[in-house]
Amino acid sequence: MKSLLTAVDVLLVFLALMVMSLGLAREWSYWWSKKESRSAGNWAGLPAYILQQREILRKPAVGIAHLCVFWGVVLPMLVIIAAQFGFVLPVGPAHTLHLLQDIFGLFMLLGTLYLLRRRLGLSSGQGPQRTVLLMGILLIILITGFLAEGARLEILYPGEFSWFSPVGWVFAQALPASPLFMQGMIRLHFLAVCVLIAITPFSFLRHAVAAPLNVFFRKQGPRAALRELSLETGDIGAKSVRNLSWKQLLDAEACVACGRCEENCPASISGKLLSPRKVMQQIYSQAKTFGGAQTESFGQSGPPLLADAISPEEFWACTSCMACVAQCPVCAEPLDKIIDLRRYQVMGEGQLPVEARGMIRDLDIYGDVQGKGAAHREDWAMHRAVPVLGPEAAETDILLWVGCAGSYHPRNQQTSRAMVKILLTAGVRFAILGKAERCCGDPARRLGDEALFQRLAQQNIEQFNRYSAHTVVTLCPHCLNTLKNEYPALGCQLTVVHATEYVMGLLDAGRLQLKYPLAKKLAVHDACYLGRYNGVYKAPRQLCQNVPGLMLSELTRSRESSFCCGGGGGRMWLHEHGGRNINVVRAEEIAENHVEIIGTSCPYCLVMLDDGVKSLELEKTPVVSDIIDIVADALG
């Protein structure tokens, strides 16, 4: 192959590349200027992410179409670039490559048509219409490419079947053997490619650069971690888009508004106003409009509030279940932005929803969500052999973190006692913090009161340090997540495991014998903070399988795509406005799956699901039970 490019063409390509890079520099200048010095990216997984596109393939039809378009662009591009540098293959392999290119082109044509049809078929609310223009250009490139190829075949091999270019051959049948036509098509093809390159920063195609970049800079620590605030410097959440971090802005840049977050968001599904996609898109458009502007240009009132674009009703509807984060194909996280909005609303405006005020006040004064006071924290263990951590119980294997629910809620107190029974049977040396324990701070943090969270956390960390606690077992997944993933930022490194994991370890070590059968059909409801946040899916299921007679089945939505009970993110204390109740949606799914027991491992899920299944008024209401209770009962 000889070089196809003339000087004018080189100039055009150069121009297109210039426009692209200048455009990207301009569009990205705002978040790039906020970027901390040398934030470490991560190369691991990036090539696989780009080449395999597993995240996108979670929705098979769209994923395959996307993969076709991707490879349909990349392969010919590579071949053409290689050709420019005088890279020549022998005829055999060259023809094979040609065939491959031809087939990829066909797949790409099919993929593009599928995506275009899908886009046109959707209403504007469901997806970005702006991709249509891009799809049009892609179609022009494809069709002119095939037309040029057809004309070339007709000129070079008239009347012959060219096995290395079957699609081109089909086109050739209807085309004249005119060099002029071929040249015209090549010019058009080339020009469209240049346009495509040039409009990358300003169009939907932006994601081709932004998404890999976002994956490269993805969070390295715990999943869906919130932004760490430094309250002393007056950083109290997202008042306007200018309070967001560069990573949060890059997230918005990378968002392609595909809507998978919305399809999996319990608030959206149950008919609330909240749409994680809208949150991302509003942040994107505000960052574009106001991000780079001079502070003085806003006058007295400052830059427009984020809450003007995303209403409080929306961001208070979030259950922080992390489904949006788990489902996002470009590693964007609507969740931390929603919490940042709440933070400003609470700490900057004092606008906490009225239902939650009592609870936050109780946390403030009494250190627990029920307002019963620390004096009553070990009442559940009264007259029982439960050692309290102190000078007498210095030598312990584990510290059992009971949590507010386990300490005060009558239903969860049973679970605490069941856990004690298991630990005593297994001969584990354990202790509780007793009256020194405070709420872990999760409800305060998710409801935006970061100052309160930090105070409670400091009180607890003091106790951990005082007794040099090393291994903590928690009964509640929310406590688990806070102690394990959020306390390290405050300077407290602990080994934290959830009760289900720990008990499974005891079973594996042969320290427990489950002998009493329970001949029931059980399904495990994965708590968001145990499953998606901390990746514990196996232990609860294995525990249930170890109970003789128990038949384990799966709910329709389980594991990574499990559906929230509606109680997380402080929503346990809020009313549900609009739409249906999330716990009822989940309860209906449970009812459809005809299970007798729902095994869960979270006090919130327990309450929410129990309320849900009871409100359905079924003939046979499924029993909602904590897995620890089930195991303790099987111990005899």
Partner 1 sequence: MKIIVCIKQICHTYARTGQNPESRYLNPEDAIYRINPYDEAALELALRFRDQTGPVDIILLTLGPLIAESELRRCLAAGADQLCRIVLSGIATENDPLLQPDPWTKADSLARAVTELGGGLVLCGKESLDRGSGQVGALLAHLLKMPCVSAITDLSAGTAADHIRVQRSAGRGVREVIRCPLPAVLSADMGADLRLPVFARRQWALSQPIQNLTSPVIKRPAQVVTARLSPPRPRPKIVPVPDSRLPAYDRVSQLLAGSKMEKKGELLTGSPESQVDGIINYLKANGFLESHND
| Contacts (Cβ under 8 Å, ≥6 apart) of 324 | 261, 262, 264, 265, 276, 333, 334, 335
In terms of CB distance, is 56 or 630 closer to partner 1? 630
Tell me: does residue 636 bind partner 1 (CB under 8 A).
yes
CB of 348 to partner 1, least distance (A): 6
CB of 360 to partner 1, least distance (A): 7
Which of 184, 212, 271, 373 binds partner 1 (CB under 8 A)? It is 373
Residue 632 in the binding site for partner 1 (CB under 8 A): yes
Only one of the segments 32-40, 295-303, 304-312, 364-372 lies at the binding site for partner 1 (rule: CB under 8 A); that segment is 364-372
Smallest gap from Cβ 436 to partner 1, in A, equals: 8
| From 21-29, 76-84, 243-251, 368-376, span contacting partner 1 (CB under 8 A) | 368-376
The smaller minimum CB distance to partner 1, of residues 27 and 629, is found at 629
In contact, 606 and 626? CB cutoff 8 Å: yes
Subset of 206-245 contacting partner 1 (CB under 8 A) = 231, 234, 236
Q: How far is the CB of 339 from partner 1 (least distance, A)?
A: 15
517 lines the binding site for partner 1 (CB under 8 A): yes
Positions in 291-350 near partner 1 (CB under 8 A): 346-350
| Number of residues this chain uses to bind partner 1 (CB under 8 A) | 33
Minimum gap (Å) between residue 231 Cβ and partner 1:
7
| Amino acid making up residue 221 | G
In whole angstroms, how close is the CB of 607 to partner 1 at the nearest point? 20
CB of 384 to partner 1, least distance (A): 10
Q: Which is nearer to partner 1, 10 or 365 (CB)?
A: 365
Strands 551-553 and 495-498: unpaired
Helices (H), 311-409: 312-315, 323-327, 334-343, 354-366, 403-408
For residues 104 and 408, which CB has a smaller minimum distance to partner 1 in the complex?
408
Dmax of the chain from CA atoms?
Answer: 98
Helix (H, G, I), strand (E, B) or coil at 473: strand
360 lines the binding site for partner 1 (CB under 8 A): yes
Structure tokens at 311: 């209403």
Region label for 441, one of left (φ > 0), alpha (ψ between -120 and 50) or beta (otherwise): left
Tell me which residue of 538, 533, 410 sits closest to 478, measured CA to CA: 533
* 633 scored as a contact of partner 1 (CB under 8 A): yes
- Tell me if 602 sits within 8 A of 530, measured CB to CB: yes
Q: Does 451 bind partner 1 (CB under 8 A)?
A: yes
Smallest separation (angstroms) from partner 1 to the CB of 633: 3
For the record, the structure tokens of 210 come out as 């932004």
Interaction of residue 411 with partner 1, rule CB under 8 A: no
Task: Output the smallest distance, CB 390 to partner 1, in A.
Answer: 13
Nearer to partner 1, 32 or 516 (CB): 516
514 interacts with partner 1 by CB under 8 A: no
- Closest among 467, 313, 288, 484 to 394, alpha carbons compared: 467
**Min dist. Cβ of residue 346 to partner 1 (A):** 7
Whose CA is closest to 515, among 539, 550, 553?
Answer: 550
- Applying CB under 8 A, which part among 32-40, 262-270, 356-364, 529-537 lies near partner 1? 356-364
Residue 479 CB-half CA count within 13 A: 30
Q: Which stretch binds partner 1 (CB under 8 A): 85-93, 95-103, 502-510, 512-520?
A: 512-520
Half-sphere exposure of 23 toward its Cβ, with a 13 Å CA cutoff?
Answer: 18
Backbone phi, psi, residue 369, to 5°: -75, -15
Residues in the chain: 636
- Quote the radius of gyration of the chain (alpha carbons, Å): 29
- 516 touches partner 1 by CB under 8 A: yes
- Choice between 348 and 488, CB closer to partner 1: 348
Q: How far is the CB of 622 from partner 1 (least distance, A)?
A: 18
Question: Cβ(498)–Cβ(534) under 8 Å?
Answer: yes
366 binds partner 1 (CB under 8 A): yes
Nearest alpha carbon to residue 142 among 179, 188, 173: 188
490 is a contact residue toward partner 1 (CB under 8 A): no
Distance CA 572, CA 581 (A): 12
Yes or no: say if 175 and 147 are a contact pair by the CB < 8 Å rule. Answer: yes
Q: Which of 60, 375, 392, 509 binds partner 1 (CB under 8 A)?
A: 375
634 makes contact with partner 1 (CB under 8 A): yes
- Across-strand partners of 431? 399
Is residue 544 at the binding interface for partner 1, with CB under 8 A as the rule?
Answer: no
Q: What is the 3-state secondary structure (H, E, C) of 151-218?
A: HHHHHHCCCCCCCCCHHHHHHHCCCCCCHHHHHHHHHHHHHHHHHHHHHHHHCHHHHHHHHHHHHHCC
Least distance in angstroms from the C-beta of 399 to partner 1: 19
Q: Select from 2, 38, 383, 620 the one that contacts partner 1 (CB under 8 A).
A: 383
- Shortest distance, CB of residue 247 to partner 1, whole angstroms? 23
Neighbour-count burial of 592, counting CB atoms closer than 10 A to its CB (0-12 exposed, 13-18 middle, 19+ buried): exposed
Which residue ranges make up the site for partner 1 (CB under 8 A)?
231, 234, 236, 346-352, 357-358, 360-361, 365-366, 372-376, 383, 435, 451, 515-518, 632-636
